[in-house]
Amino acid sequence: MKAAFAVLALLAAPLQAAPATTGDLGLVVERATGSLLVIDRADRAAIGRIEGLGDLSHASLTYSPDERFAYVFGRDGGLTKVDMVEEKVVARTVQAGNSIGGAISDDGRLVAVSNYEPGGVKVFDTETLALVADIPAAGKTIGLVDVPGRRFAWTVWDTGEVFLGDFSGAEPAITPLGYAGKNPFDAVITDDAHTYLVGLFGEKGVTAFDLWSDHPEPRKFLTDYGKTGEDMPVYKMPHLQGWAFTEGQFALPAVGRHELLWVDRARLEEVATTPVHGQPVFVIAQPASPYVWVNFATPLNDTVQVVDSRTHEVVATLTPGKAVLHMEFAPRGAEVWISARDDNRVLIYDTHTREMIGEFAAEAPSGIFFTARAHQPGL
């Protein structure tokens, strides 16, 4: 019977560690150590750690449709496929010298990465990470997003050009959509995949492309948006993926100013501004609520503010910890998980009482990503 017990013990160890379901799991990027924490909303805790992901100092990730795998885009050009059940790296390719983000196709078959060095977009098979397409660019590529129909859109920093790539056929079909403006720094797609919005750094304004149109064209708006002057230091470029879409409005982080800007979604016109605590980085909508939550650039990054999208007024100011880098909501909005890098903690707040209801240790945590993102176009 000794043999039987040995086998049992061997089998039992990985099985007990493996969660039966992945619906309420997530990953926290540990930026200094190149590792990921596996987190569980049911436990309000970390349940595992995955190591060996390279340079995660500016990392993001996306999930497979079954929530089993995450595709992690590292600053060092590494694309890593991680198994959420086995809690391990299952494939990794350093596919460029410096990458800035990526996306998964609507059918879950392709993962695309936008690269700085050399610029361009590489597309991989999600099963094997085999290279499927290599699309060069005349500069650094930014703002890569998934577009329904096995397509991706992206933008080139150096030339200001926007492209739509269709990977549904035997050969990729790449369509230039036109000139967005000087030095686009980031782009985002709305949750209905209708509008691709490109933020500019080299000039003022935001440029919109209607991706429901057969022939999308650049449409510039918010021509007051951007860097105010040479004398205004920008401590951290805001993340446009954090644009909140609520009450028929976009809420944008102003560049370099202590302000949110509210834009009417249909008319693309500024409707209000909200003075806030610092330079906003992420502006994220609390699901099923009128509220957006905002974090800030250094040195004012110990604070989070909550703003009402109806009145455009700050309704709460919290100080969760040192160097708040990211916030992620439970998908029905009941709680928000906040990373405090310099406290080495993740804090969990009840969104209704706005009180802390949990916390756990993490090594210099930055991005927090729940698996529910697998089901959201554009994430």
Could you tell me the smallest distance in angstroms from the CB atom of residue 342 to its own copies? 30
Backbone angles phi, psi at 105, to 5 degrees: -70, 160
> What whole-number distance in Å separates Cα of residue 15 and Cα of residue 25?
17
Q: One symbol per residue from 17 to 56: x for binding its own copies (CB under 8 A), - otherwise; what is it?
A: -x-xxxxx----------------xx--------------
Q: Which is nearer to its own copies, 12 or 130 (CB)?
A: 12
Among 334, 342, 354, 363, binds its own copies (CB under 8 A): 334
Applying CB under 8 A, which part among 27-35, 219-227, 313-321, 332-340 lies near its own copies? 332-340
Among 38, 59, 84, 187, binds its own copies (CB under 8 A): 84
Contacts with its own copies by CB under 8 A: the residue count is 61
> What whole-number distance in Å separates Cα of residue 24 and Cα of residue 45?
11
Binding of its own copies by 1 (CB under 8 A): yes
Q: Which is nearer to its own copies, 45 or 237 (CB)?
A: 45
Binding of its own copies by 159 (CB under 8 A): no
Contact predicate 78/93, CB 8 Å: yes
Binding of its own copies by 58 (CB under 8 A): no
**Residue found under tokens 């309704």:** 315
Q: Which is nearer to its own copies, 6 or 138 (CB)?
A: 6
Backbone angles phi, psi at 343, to 5 degrees: -95, -5
Residue 138: CB atoms within 10 A of its CB come to 12
Pairing status of strand 335-340 against strand 98-104: unpaired
Contact predicate 56/31, CB 8 Å: yes
Q: One symbol per residue from 340 to 379: x for binding its own copies (CB under 8 A), - otherwise; what is it?
A: -----------xx------------------xx-xxxxx-
What residues from 262 to 321 belong to the interface with its own copies (CB under 8 A)? Answer: 265-266, 287-290, 310
> What whole-number distance in Å separates Cα of residue 165 and Cα of residue 172?
7
Q: Which is nearer to its own copies, 84 or 325 (CB)?
A: 84
Could you tell me the smallest distance in angstroms from the CB atom of residue 371 to its own copies? 7
Q: Which is nearer to its own copies, 78 or 165 (CB)?
A: 165
Among 125, 134, 192, 217, binds its own copies (CB under 8 A): 192
Tell me the helices (H) and strands (E) count for the chain, helix number first.
1, 32
Among 93, 98, 168, 273, binds its own copies (CB under 8 A): 168
What residues from 223 to 242 belong to the interface with its own copies (CB under 8 A)? Answer: none
Nearby residues of 186 by Cβ (< 8 Å), 6 or more positions away: 142, 143, 198, 199, 237, 238, 239, 240, 241
Binding of its own copies by 67 (CB under 8 A): yes
Share of the chain residues as helix, strand and coil, in percent rounded to the nearest 5: 5, 50, 45
- Report which residue type is found at 274: T
Applying CB under 8 A, which part among 31-39, 52-60, 190-198, 315-323 lies near its own copies? 190-198
Q: In what order do the strands lie in the sheet with 161-166?
A: 141-147, 151-156, 161-166, 173-179
Binding of its own copies by 126 (CB under 8 A): no
Residue 73's closest CA among 86, 90, 89, 54? Answer: 54
Contact predicate 324/302, CB 8 Å: yes
Could you tell me the smallest distance in angstroms from the CB atom of residue 288 to its own copies? 4
Determine the Cα angle at 369 with ends 366 and 373, to 5°. Answer: 150
Binding of its own copies by 248 (CB under 8 A): yes
CA end-to-end span of the chain: 51
The footprint of its own copies (CB under 8 A) covers 1, 3-4, 6-8, 11, 15, 18, 20-24, 41-42, 63-68, 84-85, 106-107, 146, 148-150, 168, 191-194, 212, 246-248, 265-266, 287-290, 310, 330-335, 351-352, 371-372, 374-378
